[in-house]
Amino acid sequence: MGLYAGLMREDQKRNYSDRELFFRYIKRITLFKRSVIRIAIFIIISAGADILNPLLLSYIVDEFIKIDPNYFLILGASFFYIILYGIIWLMFYLQYKEIAKFVPFFAERLRMDIFDKLQEQDMSFFDNHQTGGLNTRVTNDVVDFGDITFLIVETIGNLFLSGLTLAILLWLNAFLALIALATVPLILLMMFSLRKLARTVSRKYRKALDNVNISMVELVEGIHVCKSYGQESMVSEQFDETNKNYFKSGFRLTAITHLWRRLLGFVSTLTFIVIMYIGGQLVFRDLLSPGRLFIFYLYLPTFFRPIMVLATFFPQFSTGMAAYERILEILDATPNVNQNSGAIDVGKVEGEIEFENVDFSYNSNEMVFKGLNLKIKKGEKLAIVGHTGSGKTSLVSLLARYYEFQGGSIKIDGIDIRNMSLGSYRKNLGIVQQDVFLFSGTIEENIRYGRQDASEEDLKNAVTAVHADELIEYLPEGFQTQVGERGKGVSAGQRQLISFARALLTNPKILILDEATSSVDAYTEAIIQEALDVLLSNRTSIIIAHRLSTVVNADRIIVMDHGQIIEEGDHSSLLAKGGKYAQLYKQYFEHQSLDWQPTYTASEVHGSK
């Protein structure tokens, strides 16, 4: 196995050509054309001063070796020599000061574009992208791509300096200059040969970095599970393997970046020796003056040095473009959930909901709904029950516009939801999910999340309505208590109550409770149950529940199985029917009844001896 074993055989998916990536980059960088122009001016002035300095030096040397040197001219030339060095230093300072402002601002704008684009995506996008991988693109990929600007600026400056130096060399001696120039195609060919390999290695490196970030996110979010099962050693071994793969990828990338550096140095040194020999022969034959040959030697390193810097251009450029390609996969991503052209902003809706022949699938292999029909009246409390995978959560996810359905229509008050702007439509929805997510901050900030301008009175009324005040008042700082990352600083019951208050504060006309009380203890559920009549009044409510209390009090219950509604009615009629609901009731709900008694005996529990 070699250093690059298997790299070129790996199937690397390419969505963008090098040409397209480059022109997309140019288009983006034109937004900062003023900075680019200023940097270019600084480079040109610096290169010009750099070229004039050896000429002044040679003039000073020639004047010194004369029998009667003109010291006034020597002092004048020396003064200009110092001035040129001052100009070079000043241009260098101004150039990097501008770069120091431009590159971070460029990265900031790009990072903001990525963030905004992520917010546009529907849930299907996040189903297909892991958190750690997205974090890598927003952080590391943006930095690596931003470095391209510095790389290109430096390369342009070097090429400009080499071009000016070549003009001086041709003026000094065309024959020796052509010898030096003859090696340039060979150097460029060697560098260009690395382009494809560098791109492959760069993509592999970025994937390895993705895996490290993904592993870290999973470790932090799943640490309690890891510790519960005592799997710290196994997790460490897995991360060690991931980390080693990252190291190997980084090593290969570094090796590729510097692969030709020493070889190119050998080529330039060999060229320098050849020119010294031929130049010496020309001086010996009086075809070239010693002073002119000396100046030629002074300029020769200035000609080769920028070209040698180009040795790392293609590998580094490929690294940045590989990062940009991954960034474009986000920037060019099109959300599946789209509103129709001419979509209208709606105010407060009445809350009548109708699913008409809705077809939906998460992927093309399996349909979740096929011709689903359901009508929910304004103000109706609808409970949905069914086994896991029956389509309960999918139904409310379509209503919330988390996913796009493929056929049929979903209407609110007779208007297709695709004809409503997403922003105005979602203001009419209140959603409380089983896995409550709280943002880092205070309890008050989390409750106000959907309505930042709510008055203190509205805030307290929402909290009181769901009886969250009874639990919040026991917290050390009340409303200003910090909930911690993902709400880890408060209990599951407190998180649920906060989410109820957050939904109620927006006063939605359609309320969705997606198993919202399944992780709440009996005491907290009793508190919530007292507030449900207030919470659900004057709004259309859809309840996915594992609790008997929320099912029994519903106006209507539908039973779902494999994406179809197989039964519907109220609790008593469905129970009397003895169908699927009655079966689910005995399996999941009956034991929650206060008058429930087990029907088995002790011998059935322990087994007969």
Looking at the structure, tell me whether residues 316 and 426 fall in a common domain. Answer: no
Find the range with the poorest average confidence among 19-28, 188-197, 522-531.
522-531
Whether 599 maps to a domain, the answer reads no
Secondary structure (DSSP) of 146-174? HHHHHHHHHHHHHHHHHHHHHHHHHHH-H
Sorting pLDDT into bands at 50, 70 and 90, what band is 289? confident
Q: What is the mean pLDDT of the chain?
A: 79
pLDDT digits (tens, 9 = 90+) for 339-382: 788 888 888 888 899 999 999 998 877 889 999 999 999 999 99
Print the SS3 string covering 319-334.
Answer: HHHHHHHHHHHHHCCC
Residue 243 backbone zone (phi > 0: left; psi -120 to 50: alpha; other: beta): alpha
The rounded distance, in Å, linking the Cα atoms of 294 and 281 is: 14
Does residue 287 fall inside a structural domain? yes
Least confident of 334-338, 435-439, 486-490: 486-490
| 424 neighbors 388 (Cβ within 8 angstroms) | no
For the cut 80, the answer to whether the pLDDT of residue 38 exceeds it is: yes
In terms of domains, do 473 and 324 share one?
A: no
Contact 462, 504 (CB under 8 A): yes
Report the pLDDT averaged over residues 300-305: 80
The per-residue pLDDT for 374 is 94
CA distances (Å), 460 to each of 466, 496, 505, in order? Answer: 10, 17, 9
**In degrees rounded to 5, what are phi and psi of residue 175?**
-65, -50
> Above 90 in pLDDT, residue 412?
yes
553 within a domain of the structure (yes/no): yes
DSSP track, 220-232 = HHTHHHHHHTT-H
**One-character DSSP codes across 106-139:** HHHHHHHHHHHHHHH--HHHHHSS-HHHHHHIII
- Among all chains, which residue has been given the structure tokens 């880092």? 440
547 within a domain of the structure (yes/no): yes
* 375 and 441 share one domain: yes
Which are the contacts of 578, defined by CB distance < 8 A and separation ≥ 6? none
What SS3 state is found at 558?
Answer: strand
pLDDT above 70: residue 292: yes
Claim to verify: residue 377 and residue 257 sit in the same structural domain:
no
**487 shares its domain with 366:** yes
List the end-to-end C-alpha distance of the chain, in Å, as a whole number.
Answer: 64
Phi/psi of residue 393, nearest 5 degrees = -70, -35
pLDDT score at 354: 94
CB contact set of 191 (below 8 Å; sequence gap of 6+):
260, 264, 310, 311, 313, 314
User: Residue 515 in contact with residue 480, Cβ under 8 Å?
Assistant: no
> Do residues 227 and 257 both lie within one domain?
yes
- pLDDT given at position 165: 84
Q: Concatenated DSSP letters for 259-304?
A: TTHHHHHHHHHHHHHHHHHHHHHHHHTTSS-HHHHHHHHHHHHHHH
Q: Contact 450/506 with Cβ under 8 angstroms? A: yes
245-265 average pLDDT score: 73
Q: What is the pLDDT of residue 395?
A: 92
Q: Is residue 2 part of a domain?
A: no
Residue 590 has pLDDT above 60, yes or no: no
Q: Is pLDDT of 153 > 80?
A: no
DSSP single-letter state for residue 378: T
Average confidence (pLDDT) over 293-321: 76
Q: Quick check: 44 and 55 in contact, CB under 8 A?
A: no
Q: How many residues in total does the chain contain?
A: 609
Phi/psi at 481 (nearest 5 deg)?
-65, 130
pLDDT at 427 over 80: yes
Number of structural domains (the chain) is 2
- In the DSSP assignment, the letter for residue 335 is -
Nearest to 203 by CA among 3, 12, 6: 12
- Residue 546: alpha-carbon gap to chain centroid: 36
Is residue 431 classed exposed, middle or buried when 0-12, 13-18 and 19+ CB atoms within 10 A define those classes? buried
Label residue 354 exposed, middle or buried (CB < 10 Å: 0-12, 13-18, 19+). Answer: middle
- Whether 337 maps to a domain, the answer reads no
Could you give the CA distance from residue 21 to residue 425 in angstroms, rounded to a whole number?
Answer: 37
- Residue 239 sits in the same domain as residue 278: yes
144 domain residue, yes or no: yes
Provide the CATH number for the domain around residue 233.
1.20.1560.10
**What range defines the domain where residue 382 resides?**
353-593
DSSP-derived letter for residue 449 is G
CA atoms within 13 A on the CB side of 351: 22
* Residue range 185-206: mean pLDDT, rounded: 73
- Round to whole Å and give the CA distance between 264 and 305: 11
Please compute the mean of the pLDDT values over residues 578-607 and round it to a whole number: 59
Contacts of 545 (CB under 8 A, 6+ apart): 383, 384, 385, 513, 515, 516, 517, 518, 551
Q: Is 362 found in the same domain as 317?
A: no
Same domain, 79 and 218: yes
Quick check: is 8 in a domain? Answer: no
Instruction: Kindly state whether residues 398 and 305 are assigned to the same domain.
Output: no
Closest by CA position to 304, among listed 344, 339, 264: 264
265 and 384 share a domain? no
CATH number, domain at 554? 3.40.50.300
Rg (CA), the chain: 36
Domain shared by 324 and 357, yes or no:
no
Residue 608: is its pLDDT beyond 70? no
Distance CA 228, CA 15 (A): 43
